Structure 1
């Protein structure tokens, strides 16, 4: 996407809502006895890697933690040697997913520009967590341009985009460790470039396509649907954005042919599930996106009454950097880090679709969760702004904008 200027870091304790502070306190209390040598720091900071996008140029949905070496219990790291941030075992536990999911499937990851260290960085991540090797040599990993060729590849990405690439590749690996990965690098961050990469992924056989980029929605979006995102029998997934409800609706998340993914704050808990989730909302201009599209028609399977057009999101997953995921990125970066944003949630959901199996021929997989809403974790606390009707930005029982129908509880909600 665009070469962005980094924003000023945001401070955790000044930014979090009272509800989030309470959840964090519970998580820290529950972990204190297990991590006596790693007291919580006074301050944890992070920053958004990209500015909000325009209607013509895509942006990333990535938030990077500045000081992940501060081993706060909020990260819930399961091994003393592991980097800060949730790893595969944590996410598989939180969402009741198999440790060997994705066998026989191919997940496409769509990003802009070339990351020359994508494969080697992915190898470091997978080795750290004991995941099977996924390389060009063993046929598991393939990196191509929008023409489906291994060369020439696009121009090199900025440091920000390298983080996006690693986040996407690491998280689909965490959720679907046995799946093959097709990494399609678009020539730039325009709609035509990103859309061409999506089309190429489908023609190369991917049944699951992860899109962690976002545009501001526009009146041209229904046309883009027909050109790039209407792929029957393919689970096309996109994040709802990282700038809270007040920013508005993003695309392709708002496409009725795409599963729109919101973000949550995922923390350990003493309940039966072992985890708790609330709407991700760090501050006024940072948190999961949601809203009622101004341009996209409402799909028949979406039945909320307050929005006459397409509503986002459909489902949600981990996105809060205060409880972020571990990622390895050495391309113009220092290696291990902790990240958040709906660019974390998006590959999680793409991986869950792959765990669930090949979508039914001719179907729209975005509709699947609506037929199996009882197989999701209903998120009922938190908000991402102020709105009317309230469910546009406030978690409720059943459907709401920030988290859709909820988060994965196994794979049952992600197949027909």
Structure 2
């Protein structure tokens, strides 16, 4: 059985000259047949990485390449599955905007979003009907950053997950000009201060260092729910998930079951979790095994082997006749249609969308709200994401645990 280790790249948390690169925390191996999105520019060190993982195969060259063959019905869970698993039916976020913060440009974002939504009978979401907007980090329609194949995969995933969980929501895509933390902080502020935005998803991050607390203010936007992916390298903490002002979102493996819920979940082995080395313990966290901020708070599906369908066509082969073949052989970058994806890049926009569905973010000031509404969550009690002496920080158990937090949405009551 092939096992591919998805290693978290690092983010230099400096606004001027890049700080020393942060070392990633060793974590669990990803599932066999998976590969991380290539969302760090190859010529720039110290950049944030996104937390998306593709279900993939090993090519003859030894590289892992995405499966792009298939159809909307064969490439992972779809909107109806996710709304069933998390009891989101009958809810509507109409008129509320979920913002997505990513780096670089996806030139095909709007067209790919339209294809995804059309395939599942979701309402149209376009620039012309006012549902979709794409802006640069300063909030302007132009100039947009250069295109990037890896970040385009991330952008497609984020847009599709908002569409899946909250089909009635408007979507704002804010594209930072690079994966540098300064650009991403500008984009984060733009997203949270744009009128109509009620929640913001950040599916990216890097390892902690002693500069992170000075940057936390960029996520302090009372009345706007901010979510952040916990990471894809197993046990170990990433930032901004460890910020006290965000809801840190872990990950699960989600499977259909013959129980009363119709679904079952376990902690995903790749989800990030643990005890922050720098962020103080929030007053609303009471777990006894971590004197600092514990990650995660809540969770949703993230395992690429129980992944979600995503539509992305931005590739270096540009849709040519043999584009799928080139991608399968590792001769081209990007994707050319339907892929099956996972990672906590899936779970973060899902939770941001559930906040929007709940329509209650005027009362949100940090990640505390779910802690006083635990009964409206599915407790995840099995699975592990690494070695921590068997403690709750890496092992799912009844009640709070690191990989899955308080659990997954059971309707919108916890948000």
| TM-score interval for Structure 1 and Structure 2 normalised by the shorter chain | 0.7 to 0.9
1:110 aligns with 2:112: no
CA offsets, 1:19-41, max 9 Å, x none? xxxxxxxxxxxxxxxxxxxxxxx
1:276 aligns with 2:267: no
* C-alpha distance 360-55 of structure 1, shift in aligned 2 (>3 A): farther
1:244 aligned residue = 234
SS state at 1:223 partner: helix
CA offsets, 1:195-215, max 9 Å, x none? 110101122121200000112
- Whether the 8 Å CA contact 2:160–2:310 is kept in 1: the answer is yes
CA offsets, 1:208-267, max 9 Å, x none? 0000011211111111002x111111100000000001xx21010000100000010000
Query: Offset at 1:101?
Result: 2.4
* C-alpha distance 299-110 of structure 1, shift in aligned 2 (>3 A): same
Structure holding more helix per residue: 1
1:5 aligned residue = none
Of 181, 190, 207, the match for 2:198: 207
1:410 aligned residue = 411
* Structure 1 unaligned regions, length at least 5: 1-9, 16-42, 72-79, 282-286
2:166 aligned residue = 176
CA distance in 1, matches of 2:280, 2:268: 27
Query: Offset at 1:45?
Result: 2.2
CA distance in 1, matches of 2:241, 2:184: 13
1:383 aligned residue = 384
1:288 aligns with 2:271: yes
Query: Offset at 1:51?
Result: 8.4
CA distance in 2, matches of 1:371, 1:292: 21
CA offsets, 1:334-355, max 9 Å, x none? 1101000000011110111111
- Whether the 8 Å CA contact 1:82–1:128 is kept in 2: the answer is no
* C-alpha distance 176-313 of structure 1, shift in aligned 2 (>3 A): same
CA distance in 1, matches of 2:366, 2:119: 32
* C-alpha distance 357-60 of structure 1, shift in aligned 2 (>3 A): same
* Structure 2 unaligned regions, length at least 5: 6-30, 58-66, 316-334
Query: Offset at 1:100?
Result: 5.3
1:360 aligns with 2:362: yes
- Whether the 8 Å CA contact 1:50–1:160 is kept in 2: the answer is yes
CA distance in 2, matches of 1:70, 1:148: 36
Of 120, 128, 149, the match for 2:140: 149
1:370 aligned residue = 371
Q: After TM superposition, which residue ranges in structure 1, 4 or more long, deviate above 3 angstroms?
A: 50-56, 67-71
CA distance in 2, matches of 1:52, 1:291: 24
Query: Aligned Cα RMSD in Å?
Result: 2.2
CA distance in 1, matches of 2:72, 2:409: 28
Correspondences of 1:115-154 after superposition (within 5 Å): 115-154=106-145
CA offsets, 1:256-303, max 9 Å, x none? 10000001000011111110000111xxxxx00100000001111111
Instruction: Provide the TM-score with structure 1 as the length reference.
Output: 0.82
Instruction: Provide the TM-score with structure 2 as the length reference.
Output: 0.82
What is the aligned length? 359
Pick 1 or 2: higher relative contact order, CA cutoff 8 A, min separation 6.
2
CA distance in 2, matches of 1:81, 1:208: 28
CA distance in 2, matches of 1:174, 1:238: 18
